Amino acid sequence: MLRGSRVGQLALFLLPAAAFFSFVVLVPSGQGAAYAVTDWDGLSPTKNFVGLDQFLAIRDDDAAADAIRNTLILAVTITIGQNVVGLLLALGVHSQIKLRNVMRVLLFAPIVVLPVAAAYLWQYLLSPDGAINYTLRTIGLAGLAQNWLGDPSLVLWSVSAAIIWQYAGFTMVIFLAGLVTVPADIIEAARVDGAGYLRRFWSIVLPHLGPAITVNVLLTTISGLKLFDQVFVMTHGGPGHASETISTVIYKEAFLNGRFAYGTAMALVLAVFVAIVSFGQYYALTRRNRTA
Amino acid sequence: MRRLGVSMLVLALGALGACGGDEDAGEGNGSQGASAKATGTLTVLTNTTLEPAMKEMIASFTEANPGVTIKATYAEGDAGSQTIVTRLRAGNAPDIFYVFAGAGNVNSVQPLAKNGYLLDLSDRPWAENLSEADKLGLGLDGKVYAAPQGVQGITYVYNEQAMTDAGLSPPETWDEVIPFCEAARAKDKVAYAVGYQDQWPAIFIPYALTATLVDGPEPDFAQSVLDGEAEMVDSRWSEALDMTLEMEKAGCFQDSPTGTSYDAAFDLVGKGKALGTVGVTVIADAIRPKAPDGTVLLSAPFPATGNPDETYLSAGPLQINAVSADTENPELAKQFVDYMMEPEQLALTGKLTGYVPPFPVSSFEPKVEAEPLIEFQEVGRTVPIIDQWWPNPKVQEAMYVGVIDMLAGKAEAQEVVANMDKAFDR
């Protein structure tokens, strides 16, 4: 009876959050999935069932194909870049350097800037006459000045750099939390035994960072796959479709082109794709952590 | 201006604007809003370009009607468009909001009217003064659902001082365009600033060219495409796109045109680093704050052939107000729209914003940059802005994305126009 009462109490505590989650996430997601099998334009009072037509249209849409490719490139680039930079920053501020606490705050600071505000800042920095090109020209490196956001071959790397700049601090903090769990006596013992820095890092530190790596890779991959704000502000998906992502296509089709049902179909595809990648990644990484 | 799309019949080349109409065609309206002593509250969402005029009109209307409160918000382009539609769906749309003519935008008149979101304004006194072409673009099934506060044309807006200092003048024929660009470069100036990072501004030069190459000589062509009797590839559209590419290769644009925002392009013109830019004439108001005090901005038609007498201007209603069918104060909303459409208010709008009244207003004193548009209206050499003929926004998107891909060497003109045809059919 006590157990039943306990379950009841737990359910009562969970109920508000569950209700809120259902109202904000589950119900709209279900509605979106329902719209995806109709021809609704977002305005008409009628919605006609069209089966999988919207999903087949995604298959035939060149802009959608570009968006999927760009999204994957951005997700992989940001995941690798942000984690490598975050790890290096964490190793740096975990050392005994002076001002390490100040460094930690400064490196974390970009995360508190609104993504849209950071995107506008980078749009200016990367403009043809922006601070980056201006600096390069001033120091005699005019040949390195580029059309960072207007060149189709550079735009994805430019957007990735802006995002890595903003979120590497967040990744750093999670790695720092992992670094403090590394037993200092094992490190010391390895040092006494003659193990160099790289050997100590690879054999001792890195295995202890398993959970931190799992969390960071998962979060960066998911955010990379859902990327919208920075791309929309910095490039509007251009030049042409060179930086279009799945999220920007969803926005344009649903809200600007009057193809609401098509937009929700793409959103559903994105949600399923993110779920598959996330679960797969989580399974692989946690399995690795268990065997390590 | 973002997207325009309307299915319209051009009955005559001078169907828009002041050609052949009676002076002060709207004068019979009277100050209905002022004399009615109305009461109530209205909410208005309009474009930022109308803000200076809207504030004055609200102030004078509420002074004459102390029982009325009008709360206005101002939005730009896409942000406003999708806000309006979202709020219409949610049932909390403002009483009066801005729309686009035709069917090519998500907040265009025809799809909104078709789905019952707009109040019928056919019985308003100003409605009878609209041209037949305007009535088609601003209505559905013979009814009028929106009030055009102002007309705009696509011209070459330029910095007079910069042009004079460079010792140049705007070209009057296409043959003069490339030499003009080269001469500007020799003076370390850019002839035509463009803001292609925002993508959609890539519409302006092709629109300006096709007004002369396609729609001026063949006013029925757009309708025939809509009816499925012709295709865009049958026209000189691909030639217009190739001419745009030719301009880029000749150095007419600034370096890195696809990396420059539209606002940055205005900055170049305002500061005199660029001589001008092609766009709707009202962009002069966006350039002026970036220019030194006293800078004069003028406009000129953008030529497409070797004969200046063959040049046409793209022009159409761009500042358009509609009333929500769900408004709680329909009579008050109509009264305020009527007030905004009075000749004095249209003249005020033109004076403060650079828009041209949709019908003749004797007290209207155009801004100097609007004068070429008025001249072309008077001689019947304007055509509707071409995307007002298009059935959906995808056609325009295919066009401007195609232009940018052409500049990057990733597409050919014929391919872009074929994609536009494909977008017609979806």
Q: Which residue of B lies nearest to A232 if distances are taken between CA atoms?
A: B198
Tokens of residue B45, six digits: 């969402």
Given a contact cutoff of 8 angstroms between Cβ atoms, the answer to whether B336 and B22 are in contact is: no
Please report which confidence band the pLDDT of residue A290 belongs to, taking 50, 70 and 90 as the band edges: low
Which of A256, A260, A264 should be substituted to probe chain B, the one whose Cβ sees the most B Cβ atoms within 10 Å?
A: A256
CB proximity list for A76: less than 8 A, separation 6 or greater: A224
State what percent of residues in chain A have pLDDT above 70: 97
What pLDDT is recorded for position B5? Answer: 38
Q: Which residue of A lies nearest to B104 if distances are taken between CA atoms?
A: A257
CB contact under 8 A, B116 and A45: yes
Using a CB-CB cut-off of 8 Å, the residues of chain A touching B112 are 43
What pLDDT is recorded for position A4? Answer: 63
- Closest partner residue to A127 (CB to CB) among B81, B264, B405 is B264
A25-36 pLDDT, tens digit each? 899 889 888 999
Please give, rounded to a whole number of angstroms, the shortest distance from the CA of A273 to a CA of chain B.
26
Peptide bond into B217 cis (omega under 30): no
Using a CB-CB cut-off of 8 Å, the residues of chain A touching B91 are none
- Closest partner residue to B258 (CB to CB) among A239, A241, A252 is A239
Q: Give the count of beta carbons closer than 10 Å to the beta carbon of residue A184.
A: 8
At CB < 8 Å, which residues of chain A contact B? 41-45, 63, 123, 126-129, 147-152, 235-242, 252, 255-258
CB contact under 8 A, B197 and A126: no
What pLDDT is recorded for position B318? Answer: 84
Chain A contact for B258, CB < 8 A?
A: yes
What pLDDT is recorded for position B311? Answer: 97
Tokens of residue B302, six digits: 């953008």
What pLDDT is recorded for position B78? Answer: 65
CB proximity list for B8: less than 8 A, separation 6 or greater: B101, B102, B133, B136, B137, B384, B388, B389
CB contact under 8 A, B260 and A237: no
Q: Which residue of A lies nearest to B263 if distances are taken between CA atoms?
A: A124
Using a CB-CB cut-off of 8 Å, the residues of chain A touching B260 are 127-128, 150
Which of B106, B262, B263, B412 should be substituted to probe chain A, the one whose Cβ sees the most A Cβ atoms within 10 Å?
A: B106
Chain A contact for B412, CB < 8 A?
A: no
Question: Which position has the token pair 């690879």?
Answer: A202
A208-232 pLDDT, tens digit each? 999 999 999 999 999 999 999 999 9
What pLDDT is recorded for position B202? Answer: 96
**Where do runs of H (alpha helix) occur along B47-159?**
51-64, 77-90, 109-114, 132-137
DSSP string, B272-323: TSEEEEEEEGGGHHHHGGGS-TT--EEEE----SS-GGG--EEEEEEEEEEE
At residue B150, the 3 state secondary structure works out as strand
Show the beta-strand stretches assigned E in chain A.
Answer: none
d(CA A166, CA A154): 19
- Closest partner residue to B197 (CB to CB) among A42, A43, A149 is A149
By CB atoms closer than 10 A (0-12, 13-18, 19+), residue B162 is buried
Using a CB-CB cut-off of 8 Å, the residues of chain A touching B117 are 43
Chain A contact for B257, CB < 8 A?
A: yes
A84-106 pLDDT, tens digit each? 999 999 999 988 788 888 888 99
Closest CA to A260 of A24, A25, A48: A48
Q: Which residue of A lies nearest to B90 if distances are taken between CA atoms?
A: A43
Sign of torsion over alpha carbons B396, B399, B404, B410: positive
Question: Which position has the token pair 């005559």?
Answer: B12
d(CA A274, CA B226): 40
Cβ-defined contacts of A251-255 (< 8 Å, 24+): A252/B397, A254/A42, A255/A42, A255/B78, A255/B82, A255/B85, A255/B86, A255/B106
Chain A contact for B199, CB < 8 A?
A: yes
What pLDDT is recorded for position A289? Answer: 66
B212-264 pLDDT, tens digit each? 999 999 988 988 998 889 999 999 999 999 999 999 999 999 999 999 999 99
- Render the burial of A271-286: b for 16+ CB within 10 Å, e for the rest: eeebeebbeebeeebe
CB proximity list for B339: less than 8 A, separation 6 or greater: B31, B32, B33, B34, B57, B61, B345
d(CA B251, CA B245): 10
Q: Facing residues of B317 across strands? A: B151
Using a CB-CB cut-off of 8 Å, the residues of chain A touching B115 are 43-45
N-term to C-term CA, chain A: 43
Given a contact cutoff of 8 angstroms between Cβ atoms, the answer to whether B302 and B373 are in contact is: no
CB contact under 8 A, A239 and B82: no
Using a CB-CB cut-off of 8 Å, the residues of chain A touching B104 are none
Using a CB-CB cut-off of 8 Å, the residues of chain A touching B199 are 236-239
State what percent of residues in chain B have pLDDT above 90: 70
Give the pairing type, strands B313-323 and B147-159: antiparallel
Chain A contact for B198, CB < 8 A?
A: yes
By CB atoms closer than 10 A (0-12, 13-18, 19+), residue A165 is middle
CB contact under 8 A, A43 and B256: no
Q: Facing residues of B71 across strands? A: B43
What pLDDT is recorded for position A44? Answer: 86
Q: Which residues of chain B have pLDDT under 50?
A: 1-35
Chain A contact for B111, CB < 8 A?
A: yes
Rounded to the nearest angstrom, the gap between the alpha carbon of residue B257 and the centroid of all alpha carbons in its chain is 22
Q: Which residue of A lies nearest to B416 if distances are taken between CA atoms?
A: A240
Tokens of residue B53, six digits: 């005029």
Residue B189, amino acid: K
How many residue pairs bridge chain A and chain B with CB atoms within 8 Å of each other?
Answer: 98
Position A153 pLDDT exceeds 90: yes
d(CA B289, CA B33): 34
Rounded to the nearest angstrom, the gap between the alpha carbon of residue B28 and the centroid of all alpha carbons in its chain is 27
A25-81 pLDDT, tens digit each? 899 889 888 999 999 988 888 899 999 999 999 998 888 999 999 999 999 999 999
B293-345 pLDDT, tens digit each? 999 999 999 999 999 999 999 999 888 999 999 999 999 999 999 999 999 99
What pLDDT is recorded for position B267? Answer: 96
